[in-house]
Structure 1
């Protein structure tokens, strides 16, 4: 099975984004853990991680769409 370069690039970008997102959420939740709950500041950090993930995936999608493969 021959995989096109564009497909491989999409997979790599998506995998990197997911790994970074999971890392950011785990780091934020561990840094702001108080007992068994996350502090309010940690909630903001988690919302920021979600927002950055959405922005990154949007930018990556636009960049991939404009590439000539």
Structure 2
């Protein structure tokens, strides 16, 4: 059947942001909903990011085998 799920993709970096980065005209952050392997996902692209990750629930919907990062992160 047709399975719909909200996908989230995150980026992690060492740069501290002031306020709402999406409203900063000098920000290197882009957010939006994009089509990824025929599934819609809410994404955050940050050119200053050191790492990227995707939820395991969403990765299984798009047939991507996740690779552990070796660290844990708190996502807020």
| TM-score under structure 2 length normalisation | 0.27
Hey, which of these two has a bigger chunk of helix by percent? Answer: 1
User: Which of 1 and 2 has greater Rg?
Assistant: 1
Hey, which of these two has a bigger chunk of strand by percent? Answer: 2
| TM-score under structure 1 length normalisation | 0.29
